[in-house]
C-alpha cells in the first residue's frame, strides 16, 4: 500500500479536529501535517506539535522562498503547510492536512494526487451550536466564521469525498474506509 496525502476541510465547528485526532489515535500509518501560522498560540498549544508559530515577517519570507505547499490568510493571520514536513513524513506514513477550502484546493494544484475530503455538518443549526459550544472565540470571531460557512460548503463539489459528521463513530469509519481505499490504489 502506498502513502497518500489527504486534505480534510470543512467549516469551523464541524468536528474536523476531533475526527483527525481520533483517526490518528486509531492508526499508526497516518500523521497530521503541522502547519505554520502567524496567530498566537491558544492555551495548551505547543510550537512544533500543534503549529509552528512564526512571526509575520518570517512567514512571508518563507512564502516568498516557495517553502509552502499552500498558504493563505484567514481572520487576520497566515497559515501554511511546509513542503519539507509533508515530503519527509510521506516517506514513512500517509499525511493529513487539516486545512481550509482555499488551502486544500491550492494543495491539489501543487500536489495533484492529494485526496480532498470535505467534512460537512448534519445541519446548519447543529454547526452553529457546535461552534458556540467550543467557547474558544469571541462572538465577533464566531460571526466571522459563520459568514464563511456558505462559501466553504459551496465548494464541496470540488472534493473527492464528502463525509457528513452526524455521529463521530460513523464519520470516523467513513474516513478510515476512504483512507484504506486510496492507499490501495
Tens-digit pLDDT string for the chain (185 aa) = 899 999 999 987 788 999 999 999 999 999 999 999 999 998 899 999 889 999 999 999 999 999 999 998 877 999 999 999 999 999 999 999 998 898 899 999 989 999 999 999 888 777 777 777 777 777 787 777 777 788 888 999 999 999 999 999 999 999 999 999 999 99
Give me the residues paired with residue 77 across strands: 74
Q: Any known ligand binding at 12?
A: yes
b/e map 107-145, b = 16+ CB within 10 Å: bbeebeebbbbbbbbeeeeebbebbeeeeebeeeebeeb
Residue 20, judged by CB atoms within 10 A of its CB (0-12, 13-18, 19+), counts as buried
Q: Which three cell numbers stand for residue 31?
A: 500523521
Q: Any known ligand binding at 44?
A: no
Q: Any known ligand binding at 49?
A: no
CB 86 within 8 A of CB 69: yes
Q: Any known ligand binding at 48?
A: no
Give me the residues paired with residue 30 across strands: 94
pTM of the model: 0.84
What's the rounded Cα separation, in Å, for the pair 178 and 171? 11
Q: Any known ligand binding at 16?
A: yes
Q: Which three cell numbers stand for residue 13?
A: 465547528
DSSP state of 108: H
Q: Any known ligand binding at 33?
A: no
Q: What sections of the chain are H helices per DSSP? A: 16-26, 56-64, 83-90, 101-110, 124-133, 139-154, 168-184
Amino acid at each position: 500500500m502506498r502513502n497518500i496525502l489527504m486534505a480534510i476541510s470543512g467549516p469551523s465547528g464541524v468536528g474536523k479536529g476531533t475526527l483527525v485526532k481520533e483517526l490518528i489515535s486509531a492508526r499508526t500509518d497516518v500523521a497530521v501535517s503541522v502547519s505554520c501560522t502567524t496567530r498566537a498560540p491558544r492555551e495548551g498549544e505547543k510550537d512544533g506539535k500543534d503549529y509552528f508559530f512564526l512571526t509575520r515577517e518570517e512567514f512571508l519570507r518563507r512564502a516568498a522562498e516557495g517553502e509552502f505547499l499552500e498558504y493563505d490568510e484567514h481572520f487576520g493571520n497566515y497559515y501554511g503547510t511546509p513542503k519539507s514536513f509533508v515530503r519527509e513524513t510521506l516517506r514513512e506514513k500517509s499525511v493529513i492536512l487539516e486545512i481550509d477550502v482555499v488551502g486544500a484546493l491550492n494543495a491539489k494544484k501543487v500536489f495533484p494526487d492529494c485526496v480532498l475530503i470535505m467534512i460537512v455538518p448534519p445541519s446548519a443549526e447543529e454547526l452553529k451550536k457546535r461552534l458556540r459550544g467550543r467557547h474558544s472565540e469571541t462572538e465577533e470571531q464566531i460571526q466571522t466564521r459563520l459568514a464563511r460557512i456558505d462559501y466553504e460548503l459551496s465548494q464541496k463539489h470540488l472534493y473527492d469525498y464528502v463525509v457528513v459528521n452526524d455521529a463521530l463513530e460513523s464519520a470516523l469509519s467513513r474516513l478510515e474506509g476512504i483512507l484504506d481505499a486510496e492507499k490501495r490504489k
